[in-house]
């Protein structure tokens, strides 16, 4: 009966956790620990709750315990990495995630698209964390790792572009966008961004070309129409050869 009770408690805690009702989930999770529960999920949820409360030391201990129980638990490794990065331990945070990833890779006998995508998502999350902390070189590294494991090329390339722009490497950003619109000509968000960068760089003719291509594919694209009017107004003031 105890096992069933533990399962029911875990299910309730999981539901509260998913609904972000942490004040209801936390006491249930602590009861499970008192009952000697060995589920890494319990410690992962507690770690997340403690992190949300700003109790970093308790969160670190909870995530480490989850990884002791299941060393390849990527959610726990990412959670721990995020905290370590928040408190300035960047290299330790990177090491935690890389170790979990490498261990799972060794345990996988052949390349598994599901596993690859799972790790891609985690690299993506780490990239967003680094970006948020204005560590753009580290974010760029994580986004490239995510891209190597995923089919989400348009989405991830746009994040790479933003990193290059923050690093003031405009030519590299433009190179990524040129390749992206060539491979995915219907990905209009890339054309819009491409045009904006060209426009800001003084290449008004190039910007117009991208926005016209956007309206050709989507005549009702409001942002492209607005940007075109803005650029065309400028061309009326100066000869196109000067733009």
What is the span of the domain harbouring residue 61?
1-107
Residue 1 has pLDDT above 50, yes or no: no
Q: Is residue 18 part of a domain?
A: yes
In a domain, 27, yes or no: yes
Residue with tokens 């819009």: 192
Asked whether residue 203 is assigned to any structural domain, the reply reads no
Count the domains in the chain. Answer: 1
69 inside domain: yes
Residue 55 lies in a domain: yes
Integer Cα distance of 87 and 96 in angstroms: 14
pLDDT in tens, 75-104: 898 889 889 888 888 888 888 878 877 777
Does residue 60 form part of some domain? Answer: yes
What CATH number is given to the structural domain containing 95? 1.25.40.10
Taking the C-alpha atoms of residue 32 and residue 53, their distance in angstroms, rounded to an integer, is 20
- Report pLDDT digits (tens) over 23-76: 999 999 999 999 888 899 999 999 999 999 999 999 999 999 999 999 888 889
Per-residue pLDDT at 241 exceeds 60: no
Q: Residue 45 domain-assigned?
A: yes
Asked whether residue 81 is assigned to any structural domain, the reply reads: yes
């Amino acid at each position: 009966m105890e096992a069933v009770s533990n399962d029911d408690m875990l299910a309730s805690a999981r539901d509260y956790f998913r609904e972000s009702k942490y004040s209801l989930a936390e006491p249930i999770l602590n009861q499970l620990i008192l009952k000697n529960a060995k589920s890494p999920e319990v410690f992962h949820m507690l770690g997340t709750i403690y992190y949300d409360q700003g109790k970093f030391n308790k969160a670190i201990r909870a995530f480490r315990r989850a990884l002791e129980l299941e060393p390849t638990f990527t959610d726990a490794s990412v959670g721990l990495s995020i905290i370590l990065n928040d408190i300035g331990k960047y290299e330790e945070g990177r090491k935690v995630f890389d170790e979990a990833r490498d261990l799972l890779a060794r345990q996988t006998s052949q390349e598994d698209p599901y596993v690859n995508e799972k790790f891609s998502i985690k690299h993506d999350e780490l990239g967003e964390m680094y970006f948020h902390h204005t560590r753009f070189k580290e974010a760029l590294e994580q986004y490239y790792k995510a891209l190597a494991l995923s089919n989400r090329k348009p989405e991830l390339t746009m994040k790479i572009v933003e990193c290059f722009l923050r690093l003031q490497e405009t030519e590299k950003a433009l190179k990524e966008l040129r390749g992206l619109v060539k491979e995915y000509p219907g990905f209009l968000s890339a054309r819009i961004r491409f045009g904006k960068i060209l426009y800001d760089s003084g290449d008004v003719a190039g910007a117009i070309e991208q926005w016209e291509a956007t309206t050709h594919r989507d005549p009702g694209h409001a942002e492209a129409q607005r940007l075109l009017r803005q650029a065309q107004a400028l061309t009326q003031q100066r000869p196109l050869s000067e733009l």
